[in-house]
Amino acid sequence: MKISAIVTIPPYAPFIAEVAAHPIVSGLRLNTVMPLREGPGEALDRLSKFGQPLWVDLKGRQLRVVGAAIPPFSEIFLSHPIQVQTPVDAFFSDGREMGRIVAVDGNRLILEDGPRRLIGPGESVNIIHPSLKIEGTLTETDRAYLAAMKERGLKNVMISFAESSADADEVRGLLPGAEVVQKIESLRGLDYIRKTGSRHGRLMAARGDLYVEVVRPHRILPALRDIIRADPDAIAASRILDSLAYQPVPESADLGDLGFLLEIGYRTFMLGDQVCLKRDSVIEALNLLGELAKSP
């Protein structure tokens, strides 16, 4: 069985060369929210020299926190202005925590209640309501990365929260010839690819946010099937072998999850931030995928 992995790589990790040389690895992913000393060019130069395709993950319309706040009765600022009917729930920490938005003013949210902790810069926020409208797609950081990629002749781009062919068109307008992976992370994204398939770029089941956005957890299963039907070459990403970030042996549920993904047709997997922050956890995840690849 042919299995490959795209690995999320912290730009300053000392183990990049070892990861890139692993036989199961087919690419490296740069999460563009990671801090850098000198900006996008530094990260691109650093990560593009290891002999693997470098995928730059643009945030697009994904909602992220700008600044910091501590609920309750606090305000937080988002990466995009939004419109939504209030009051409405907001989800944090991959859906494990919830807050109540009572008012919206552009990219400023007023929370009546929320996680009783610091909500820090870069955290993602999920607001799941049919009235939600997000203004704009690409962020200033996204545009800076695309400009730096164009200067260096790099082409591989992932678009978070792809929901329209216009998302890929906007990227290709700034980076002609871009090879685009569309990350499907919302109900609107699922509706979009059910109609268009992979016509505008390879698909990715980006399960970190998608699991939250489907609202009722069991709906993730038909969503994953719909994505692989729309694109038999689709990538399964996030929530993969995350237990290895905390222990040397994966949880049984993680193996069952991988078995399900393989059974329905996924063959390329993208390991997320959690398991890739340390050398031992990412190498163990790659070794395990390598063992699965030996299966008939």
The 10s digit of each residue's pLDDT in 208-267 is 999 999 989 999 999 999 999 999 999 999 999 999 999 999 999 999 999 999 999 999
What would the pLDDT profile of 54-106 be if each residue is shown by its tens digit?
Answer: 999 999 999 999 988 888 888 999 999 999 999 999 999 989 999 999 999 99
pLDDT at 278 over 90: yes
What would the pLDDT profile of 141-161 be if each residue is shown by its tens digit?
Answer: 999 999 999 999 999 999 999
**What percentage of the chain exceeds 70 in pLDDT?**
100
Query: Cα–Cα distance between 268 and 176 in angstroms, integer?
Result: 26
pLDDT at 178 over 80: yes
pLDDT-based confidence at residue 169 (cuts at 50, 70, 90): very high
Pairing of β 65-66 and β 97-105: unpaired
Query: Under the phi-then-psi rule, with left for phi > 0, alpha for psi from -120 to 50, and beta for the rest, what region is 190?
Result: alpha
Q: What are phi and psi of 159, to 5 degrees?
A: -115, 115
pLDDT-based confidence at residue 192 (cuts at 50, 70, 90): very high
